[in-house]
A and B are shown apart, each in its own frame.
Chain A
Amino acid sequence: MADKILKQLKIKVWRQKNAKSKGRFETYTIENISTGSSFLEMMDILNNDLIEKGIDPIAFDHDCREGICGTCSLYINGRPHGPDTEVTTCQLHMRKFKDGETIIIEPWRARAFPVIKDLVVDRSAFEKILQAGGFVSVNTGGVPDANAIPVSREDAEESMDAAACIGCGACVAACKNSSAMLFVSAKVSHLAKLPQGKVEADTRAMSMVAKMDELGFGGCTNTRACEAECPKSISIMNIARLNREYLKARLSR
């Protein structure tokens, strides 16, 4: 079955020359978009049009285009990664939009994620949080036997669920407080659930939360918007675990 064609769409998009300049919205019209194309393919077609008209193409982040790298972003029609659940923008299809619709595209908005150009934001704040404590210090050497360190199935599953976080930043974009708690909690949890992560359990939560605060992210007020908009459905139960790890470490010293 051939995909339907959206005859005309209006794309209202944030244009910003560089980190220092003041941005504004521009509206472009695009025609004959297949509902089978992905959102980023639509952006490619739009950019092609713009280049032919001599307009600077719209800058946006993208890499793997199969929902695993966490590079693509975009706040589309009021939601991170657009009007679908459990998908990244590259996995979003144009069948989610109606013919004649105006699509509003904004960059992630947060003090800790400054806009570099158009829809591209600097997400290195996440790297800084990871560098503050999202690692394990182990002696390298021969690979231990798989059964030498017992891990229950449930712990392994919960750890892997937390490790599914691709660090895209949708949680920060979705949160009314621009809080990074879901990201930080996922990164703390996937280590906290495993024996290898226990060694630095105390300092990890404290250092990562301190870094998160320092970088200007907001605080969590448990609205659960992050969990709902997360392309990997990371659970807020990780936030409860982070709170627990943090309070335990803080109150014990």
Chain B
Amino acid sequence: MSKFLTASIGRKFIMSVSGLFLMVFIAVHLGINLLLIFDDSGDLFNQGAHFMATNPLIKVMEPVLGLGFIVHILWSFMLEYQNWKARPVKYAKKNMSGASSWASRNMLVLGGLVLVFLIIHILDFFVKMKFTGHHLLEEVVVKGVHMENAYALVSTAFIQSTALGIFYIIGGILLGVHLSHGFWSSFQTLGLNNKHWLKRWQVIGQVYAVVVALGFAIIPLYFMFGLNN
């Protein structure tokens, strides 16, 4: 097994599986977040957030998700270092734009920027909701259930700061570009690809990437333009 983890295809397998796992998480996360703009009273989003915070299955998956992020990030650095070492003398002139997509050549850069976004994002909302608390999070009652007012925290943040909104829009777009290569690439690495499926995976991947980028960008825009009133 240790041989598998250090072999080039083994390492790629780890990247692929952790990537697919994170993509499932992103889909769930986006689904819950979109409740922000579908109910201006905030009840729907608060119920969604409360469910995610209390459901036993989600609670079990939370550390697994953290591990998924850590593995995906660590392995990416290991892989890129190995790949960088494979060409000790670089080319003086490269003309790669015709042969490969920009996203595919810059997955580490894109992933790194998404990581910066992720850290700030976690400090912004996750830490406040989970650990430190915040005065905006004071209890609300939805259908007789007491819960934190996560809606107030998020909506107020975007209404108050345009800069924060722009930061989140850029984060969503970067993630979308990262996924535009990552999605089909995962299936290719697992060997689940052939001449018929290549186009299908790529189309599904592009649609998924656009939905993620637009979905996450539309939420701050909604509040920045005051559409919640």
A residues neighboring B (CB under 8 Å): 25, 75, 77-79, 83, 104, 106, 109-112, 115, 174, 176-179, 181, 209-210, 212-213, 216-225, 228-229, 235-237, 239-248, 250
Contact = CB atoms under 8 A, between A and B. Distances in A.
Interface of B: 4, 7-13, 79, 82-96, 98-101, 104-105, 107, 181, 184-185, 188-195, 198
Given A111-B86, A237-B195, A222 B104 contact: yes
Nearest to A25: B92
A78 B96 contact: yes
A229 B100 CA distance: 10
A218 B91 contact: no
A146 B79 CA distance: 46
Contact of B190 (A110, A111, A247, A250): A247
Contacts of B105: 176, 223
A222 B189 contact: yes
Most chain A beta-carbon neighbours within 10 Å: one of B13, B87, B93, B191: B87
> DSSP class of A's interface residues: helix, strand, loop or mixed?
mixed
Nearest to B191: A244
Contacts of B185: 221-222
Nearest to B186: A222
Contact of B99 (A229, A244, A248, A250): A229
Contact of A247 (B79, B191, B194): B191
B182 to A, nearest CB: 9
Nearest to A158: B195
A239 B176 CA distance: 25
A243 B15 CA distance: 13
Contacts of B9: 209, 219, 242-243, 246-247, 250
Nearest to A236: B188
Given A219-B79, A239-B188, A240-B188, A78 B8 contact: no
A20 B9 CA distance: 32
Q: Which 6 pairs, one residue from A and one from B, show the smallest C-beta to C-beta distance? A: A244-B191, A78-B95, A218-B86, A177-B83, A228-B99, A218-B83
Contacts of B104: 221-224
A220 B181 CA distance: 13
A107 B92 CA distance: 11
